[in-house]
């Protein structure tokens, strides 16, 4: 009896200590594996309120593949309590994550007034060395360390209260080759300007949480997930993520859908949904979406019987639809109402491109 009690207590401690890993079901796309990442989070080492290991446990519990710890270089309100240097938070997280199947990327947030605002530098070697009053020197040093650099929350009202402006300083930074990505989504906030700039200037589209407190206080509903960046990698490793970021193979996954470059989101949609004829003679078909992507579509051609009705392809759902007798699948287009490649630019694909499954 006593033995059982001890065993029970040991097991309880064990299950508390190791967070259960949620499995995120987002498909790979042709030629690439898909990784779910959050590249912007804070700890007590800047203005966050959690120890770095908490960020690792949270990410494992939520099923992420990689995170970056990006404490502010210049803003450290707990500095008198946290005397360590500016590399310490990601070192702690990285060591803790080493045998837990989570990649932790060394990062920092270069924190300047607008212009040019805040920038995350990822894959850095030494944050202390990047610290510099002059944003030019800071960004140059980060770039010299081989960093992938993104402009964070360009539309943050504290810094851009009236309109989201691309300043001359951003042109300078971009022309120097010191800006490779842009935060299209920061937490729940989508920046339409950032989406347009990403398309115009071939910047990687990034979606992050910019989390400061513990995720336990977030009011996620059970079907929701954190804002994250889907990265399409040739190899599932830190180097694979870096290569994919520099080549812009990303999409942003947030509460209301997915935002990314047109070829990427098209491939993602086509890898997510299949179509099955139920009774082809009478025009009855079935969509199957086995993924965690909550997709909403409209069949965009009037030959579809009730063409104005939005179809919900919820995660794991099978959704039937009917086209009138005589109409062919080839005539019908699909508009995905919550996958965007640009502002007011939902993804459109011909229905005939969706992979048919005959069984
Ligand atoms: Zn910031
Ligand atoms: Zn931040």
Q: According to the model, what pLDDT value does residue 2 have?
A: 52
Single out the residue of 156, 151, 155, 337 nearest to residue 258, CA to CA.
337
Q: How far is the CA of 353 from the centre of ligand 1 (A)?
A: 41
Q: Which ligand is nearest to the CA of 155?
A: 1
Does pLDDT of 14 surpass 60?
no
- Rounded Cα distance between 101 and 8, Å, is 27
Q: How far is the CA of 151 from the centre of ligand 1 (A)?
A: 9
121 close to 73: Cβ distance less than 8 angstroms: no
Q: How far is the CA of 147 from the centre of ligand 1 (A)?
A: 17
Does pLDDT of 354 surpass 80?
yes
The domain made up of 274-356 has a fold known as Immunoglobulin-like (2.60.40)
Q: According to the model, what pLDDT value does residue 219 have?
A: 64
Q: Which ligand is nearest to the CA of 42?
A: 2
Q: How far is the CA of 20 from the centre of ligand 1 (A)?
A: 30
Name the most confidently modeled range: 10-14, 21-25, 151-155: 151-155
Mean pLDDT calculated for residue range 314-336: 86
Instruction: Count other Cβ atoms within 10 Å, centred on residue 334.
Output: 26
Q: How confident is the model at residue 216 (pLDDT cuts 50, 70, 90)?
A: confident
Q: How far is the CA of 96 from the centre of ligand 1 (A)?
A: 25
Q: Which ligand is nearest to the CA of 39?
A: 2
How does DSSP classify residue 290? Answer: -
Mean pLDDT calculated for residue range 189-212: 98
Q: How confident is the model at residue 281 (pLDDT cuts 50, 70, 90)?
A: confident
Q: How far is the CA of 111 from the centre of ligand 1 (A)?
A: 6
Q: Are strands 66-69 and 103-111 parallel, antiparallel or unpaired?
A: parallel
The runs of H, that is alpha helices, within the chain are: 2-17, 52-62, 88-97, 127-130, 135-144, 168-175, 192-201, 238-246, 262-272
Q: Which ligand is nearest to the CA of 118?
A: 1
Q: Which ligand is nearest to the CA of 116?
A: 1
What is the total residue count of the chain?
Answer: 359
Q: Please provide the average confidence, as pLDDT, over all residues in the chain.
A: 92
Does pLDDT of 6 surpass 70?
no
Domains 31-260 and 274-356 share a fold: no
Q: How far is the CA of 277 from the centre of ligand 2 (A)?
A: 48
Q: How far is the CA of 167 from the centre of ligand 2 (A)?
A: 20
Region of 66 please: left (phi>0), alpha (psi -120 to 50) or beta.
beta
Q: How confident is the model at residue 224 (pLDDT cuts 50, 70, 90)?
A: confident
Q: How far is the CA of 36 from the centre of ligand 1 (A)?
A: 21
Q: How far is the CA of 119 from the centre of ligand 2 (A)?
A: 9
Tokens of 33: 């594996």
Mean pLDDT calculated for residue range 345-358: 92
Does pLDDT of 302 surpass 80?
no
Q: Which ligand is nearest to the CA of 156?
A: 1
Which residues, at least 6 apart from 266, have a Cβ–Cβ distance to it below 8 Å? 347, 349
Q: How far is the CA of 77 from the centre of ligand 2 (A)?
A: 14
Q: Which ligand is nearest to the CA of 212?
A: 2
Does pLDDT of 218 surpass 90?
no
Q: How far is the CA of 71 from the centre of ligand 1 (A)?
A: 9
- Give residue limits of the domains in the chain: 31-260, 274-356
In this structure, of 89-93, 154-158, 307-311, the range with the lowest mean pLDDT score is 307-311
Q: How far is the CA of 70 from the centre of ligand 2 (A)?
A: 7
Q: How far is the CA of 153 from the centre of ligand 2 (A)?
A: 9
The pLDDT tens digits of the residues spanning 127-153 come to 999 999 999 999 999 999 999 999 999
Q: According to the model, what pLDDT value does residue 18 have?
A: 66
Is-cis flag, bond preceding 16, omega within 30? no
Q: How far is the CA of 201 from the centre of ligand 1 (A)?
A: 22
Q: According to the model, what pLDDT value does residue 20 have?
A: 85
How does DSSP classify residue 32? Answer: B
Any bridge partners for residue 312, and if so which? 296
Which residues, at least 6 apart from 275, have a Cβ–Cβ distance to it below 8 Å? 285, 286, 287, 288, 329, 351, 354, 355, 356, 357
193 close to 183: Cβ distance less than 8 angstroms: no
Task: Tell me the CATH number for domain 31-260.
Answer: 3.20.20.140
- Rounded Cα distance between 232 and 249, Å, is 6
Does pLDDT of 358 surpass 80?
no
Q: How confident is the model at residue 1 (pLDDT cuts 50, 70, 90)?
A: very low
Q: According to the model, what pLDDT value does residue 280 have?
A: 81
Does pLDDT of 13 surpass 60?
no
Specify the residue for token string 């599932």. Answer: 236
The pLDDT tens digits of the residues spanning 22-67 come to 899 999 999 999 999 999 999 999 999 999 999 999 999 999 999 9
269 close to 347: Cβ distance less than 8 angstroms: yes
Q: How far is the CA of 127 from the centre of ligand 2 (A)?
A: 15
Tell me what percent of the residues of the chain surpass a pLDDT of 90: 80
């Amino acid at each position: 009896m006593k033995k059982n009690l001890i065993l029970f207590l040991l097991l309880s401690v064990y299950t508390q200590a190791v967070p259960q890993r949620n499995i995120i079901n987002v498909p790979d796309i042709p030629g690439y594996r898909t990784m779910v990442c959050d590249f912007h989070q804070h700890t007590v080492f800047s203005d966050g309120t959690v120890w770095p290991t908490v960020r690792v446990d949270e990410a494992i519990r939520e099923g992420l593949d990689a995170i970056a710890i990006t404490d502010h270089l210049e803003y450290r309100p707990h500095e008198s309590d946290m005397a360590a240097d500016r590399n310490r938070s990601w070192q702690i997280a990285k060591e803790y994550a080493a045998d837990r199947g989570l990649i932790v990327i060394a990062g920092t947030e270069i924190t300047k007034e607008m212009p040019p605002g805040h920038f995350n530098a990822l894959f850095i070697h030494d944050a202390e060395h990047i610290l510099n009053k002059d944003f030019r020197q800071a960004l140059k040093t980060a770039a010299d360390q081989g960093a992938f650099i993104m402009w964070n929350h360009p539309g943050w009202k504290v810094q851009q209260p009236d309109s989201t402006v691309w300043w001359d300083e951003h042109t300078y930074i971009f022309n120097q080759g010191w800006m490779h990505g842009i935060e299209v989504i920061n937490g729940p906030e989508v920046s339409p300007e950032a989406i347009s700039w990403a398309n115009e200037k071939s910047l990687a589209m990034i979606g992050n949480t910019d989390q400061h407190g513990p995720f336990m206080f977030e009011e996620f509903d059970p079907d929701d997930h954190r804002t994250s960046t889907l990265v399409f990698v040739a190899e599932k490793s830190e180097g694979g993520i870096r290569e994919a970021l520099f080549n812009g193979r990303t999409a942003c996954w947030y509460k209301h859908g997915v935002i990314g470059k047109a070829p990427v989101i098209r491939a993602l949609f086509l890898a997510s949904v299949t179509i099955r004829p139920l009774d082809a003679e009478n025009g009855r078909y079935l969509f199957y979406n086995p993924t965690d992507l909550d997709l909403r579509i409209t069949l965009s051609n009037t030959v579809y019987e009730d063409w104005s009705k939005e179809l919900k392809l919820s995660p794991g759902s099978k959704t039937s639809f009917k086209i009138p007798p005589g109409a062919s699948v080839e005539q019908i287009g699909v508009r995905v109402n919550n996958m965007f490649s640009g502002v007011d630019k939902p993804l459109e694909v011909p229905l005939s491109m969706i992979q048919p499954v005959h069984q």
